[in-house]
Amino acid sequence: MPHTEATRAAGTQILADFTPRMGRRYANGRNTDRGSGAHRDVSTLSPYLRRRLVTERETVAAALDEHGPEAAEKFVQEVIWRGYFKGWMERRPQVWASYRDGLDDDLAVLDTDRRLRRDVARAEAGETGLDCFDAWARELAETGYLHNHARMWFASIWIFTLDLPWRLGADFFYRHLLDGDPASNTLGWRWVAGLHTRGKPYKAQAWNIAKFTDGRFAPREADLAADVQGLDHLEPEGLPQVQPLRRPVPPDPQVPTALLVTEEDGCLEDFPCTNFDIRAAASLSASHLRSPREVSGDVADFEACALADTARRAGIEAVPLRAGVPGDLARWASRAGARQIVTPYVPTGPLRDWLEAAQPALAQAGITLAEWQRDWDGLIWPHATAGFFKVKKQIPRILHAAGLS
């Protein structure tokens, strides 16, 4: 990853530098993985967008202002795709729970199966003997980033060529990706496995890898799985029913407040913090919740820097908290005399799980957890009930409602 300073200033500079390439150049070159340090046709903004150090709305606005809706169409779609995946997961939180619980089961098997443990270790270390896969494994571990096309190839090879459990691969990504997001990561792996779009797994093909790595890699077809069957047999009951979107408790500016800063939203200045009676503020580190296994130190460092930058720009003194015993949240807020904890919306994922576990102690202490929710999510998530096409059809209306057309 060429940009590892987790600040809004760094993110907005990347945004400005890439804006001239958000049009036809992006549309024509975005599928080519040029390798570590050479990702010139993609923005590498994802770690900043994931934490909203740079927001989706301002990113889309930059593309439209520079290139217009026709030339910027593909870039805009890719930004909105992130919102689609988050909304899809919000409508089916059971899918996250299934991944989380299934990963625990897979890790239990890993502890007892020596062959599986050996094969997973080789794959994660980039020691399979398949040059392209091994290079991507090393790039991920060393930089915290992979080109999106490489992520698809890697996942396909992990699942269908190496015959490894898909959740262990998703966990490997999630523990190392600086832009690791529970929705995008989980659903991306499910898509490759043929679970998201059932019966349509993604097959890594030698010609495709050679073409879209500019010949850096030239695997033989015999190196890759020829017969790729989706894993939908693992979920014979099919996808869970779509649920109504969760309606967060709105913050009350009349109530003594404890402000909680998380990596879910790094632009606190977009919210009316000054209208509230803030008795305390804390920066909550939670990247370790991504996995029962050790999460990359680079991910933790990026999170810590982002939290510090968010608090500094908001002009607040935030004490550091770590998401450990959930009851600690209520004790911290109670000591400050707060009757509500206010934070930007926390979507489905490990931090939401932790906050849910904290709810009994909060309720006992008479403390409400209240959340600000961005209009951007409210424009996309209601449409994220099926495939992306349903959201894609709504993009003109979404952009108009967001004041971008």
150-176: per-residue pLDDT in tens?
A: 999 999 999 999 999 999 999 999 999
The yes-or-no verdict on residue 1 having pLDDT over 70 is no
CA-closest candidate to residue 270, choices 302, 310, 318:
310
Region 94-234: CATH code: 1.10.579.10
The whole-number pLDDT of residue 233 equals 87
Q: What average pLDDT does this structure show over 210-222?
A: 96
Q: What average pLDDT does this structure show over 48-69?
A: 98
Q: Residue 381 phi/psi, 5° resolution?
A: -60, -35
367-398: per-residue pLDDT in tens?
A: 999 999 999 999 999 999 999 999 999 999 99
Domain ranges of the chain: 8-90+379-401, 94-234, 257-373
CA-closest candidate to residue 165, choices 123, 203, 221, 206:
123
- What is the chain's Cα-based Rg? 21
Mean pLDDT of the residues in the chain: 96
252-306: per-residue pLDDT in tens?
A: 999 999 999 999 999 999 999 999 999 999 999 999 999 999 999 999 999 999 9
What confidence tier does 2 reach under pLDDT thresholds 50, 70, 90?
Answer: very low
**153 is written with which tokens?**
């190839």
CATH architecture of the region 257-373: 3-Layer(aba) Sandwich (3.40)
Question: Looking at residue 249, what DSSP letter applies?
Answer: P
Rounded Cα distance between 342 and 369, Å, is 6
Q: What average pLDDT does this structure show over 22-30?
A: 97
Rounded Cα distance between 218 and 197, Å, is 29
Question: Looking at residue 320, what DSSP letter applies?
Answer: E
93-112 vs 182-193: helix crossing angle, rounded to 10: 70
Write the class of the CATH domain 8-90+379-401: mainly alpha
Note whether 40 and 24 are within 8 A (CB): no
Strands in 246-382 per DSSP E? 257-261, 278-285, 319-322, 340-344, 368-372
Query: What is the model's pTM?
Result: 0.97
Rounded Cα distance between 20 and 112, Å, is 52
Rounded Cα distance between 293 and 124, Å, is 13
The yes-or-no verdict on residue 248 having pLDDT over 80 is yes
What confidence tier does 198 reach under pLDDT thresholds 50, 70, 90?
Answer: confident
**12 is written with which tokens?**
């907005």
121-155: per-residue pLDDT in tens?
A: 999 999 999 999 999 999 999 999 999 999 999 99
